[in-house]
Chain A
């Protein structure tokens, strides 16, 4: 008997509602959104800035909840996601849907009231893109799911910047491009060593559809435009040497790691140490790169 059948009418626990929002993913979203806001040439009053970041977090949480609502069957098939509230039967699907929709609407309206209309529109577009374009349309249909869907996760620094300034400029567009180009190597590195999970669930991730060697080539290929986009703010005069030196060092490291992945011949998860190392480093890379941007904005050499 599943837990859902054992507890048919039990209201959802607030901890499960929190788990629906994917708090770990949210931490990266909040950080990049905050960096976008802090890198802007003008800063809003503290409470407005705080509310903008809160709205980005709530919007990301809402998108995560709607993603889990739609993918409850898929999550049940994968070891990594089978213990989430919906596949584990700890929550009613309709409650997850209401929670996700309610939180989406609330975050967008609050962003519009506290910051500005453009930031609210961008937040709404990012939620809809993640839910409709990535989750519903692409994820189960094409191995390019993560390439196009990655745009949804690239919005936060742009939204943070727009919440502060009210305008879209070149630097936040480059920040968008950095996360957009970072997403495929990050997720493909993960999908290489958990590909049996994706295969069992029928998700057409690149290692499942095109094989391991092809995925490794794609990872290496994507890190090159990523490095160009990440270093570009320095020669373009949009960031100073603090960011520039950090960007060069971090991108040299990620390119070397991607080349180590490319030269790896292992086909079992145990032999995929370069992939695991790249996956772990890619998270640190993004945190460090965005932190360097903020440091560059505030530290005068």
Chain B
């Protein structure tokens, strides 16, 4: 594998890792809000 190819792969991996981190963060917040809403419904 050539140097530019390796750099391209690393760049794409970094981009996807960053996006995954954002999506996981959003998922955690969503689960928190769902829990709060469900607790409200249970009352």
Contacts and interface: CB of A to CB of B under 8 A. Distances in A.
Contacts of A48: 34, 37-38
A11 B12 contact: yes
Interface string A37-66: 000000001111001000000000000000
Contact of B40 (A10, A45, A51, A114): A45
B9 A9 contact: yes
A114 B36 CA distance: 11
A48 B38 CA distance: 8
Nearest to B36: A47
Interface of A: 9-11, 13-14, 45-48, 51, 113-114
Contact of B8 (A10, A14, A46, A51): A10
Contacts of B13: 11
B15 A47 contact: no
Nearest to B40: A45
A104 to B, nearest CB: 16
B33 A47 contact: yes
Given A47-B30, A51-B30, A11 B37 contact: no
A11 B38 CA distance: 39
A145 B33 CA distance: 41
B16 A51 contact: no
B9 A47 contact: no
A9 B12 CA distance: 11
B37 A10 contact: no
Interface of B: 1, 8-9, 12-13, 15-16, 19, 30, 33-34, 36-38, 40-41
Contact of B9 (A11, A14, A45): A11
In the A-B complex, list the 5 residue pairs whose CB atoms are closest, starting with the nearest.
A45-B37, A47-B33, A47-B37, A114-B34, A11-B12
A14 B15 contact: yes
Contacts of B40: 45
Given A45-B40, A45-B41, A11 B16 contact: yes
Given A45-B40, A45-B41, A10 B34 contact: no
Q: Which of B8, B37, B38, B40 has the most CB of A within 10 A?
A: B37
B34 A47 contact: yes
A51 B16 CA distance: 23
Nearest to A14: B19
A48 B37 CA distance: 7
A206 to B, nearest CB: 41
Contacts of A11: 9, 12-13, 16
B3 to A, nearest CB: 15
Q: Which of B15, B19, B34 has the most CB of A within 10 A?
A: B34
5 contacts: A13-B15, A14-B16, A14-B19, A45-B40, A45-B41
A16 to B, nearest CB: 10
Contacts of B30: 47, 51
Contacts of A14: 15-16, 19
Contacts of A13: 12, 15
Nearest to A54: B30
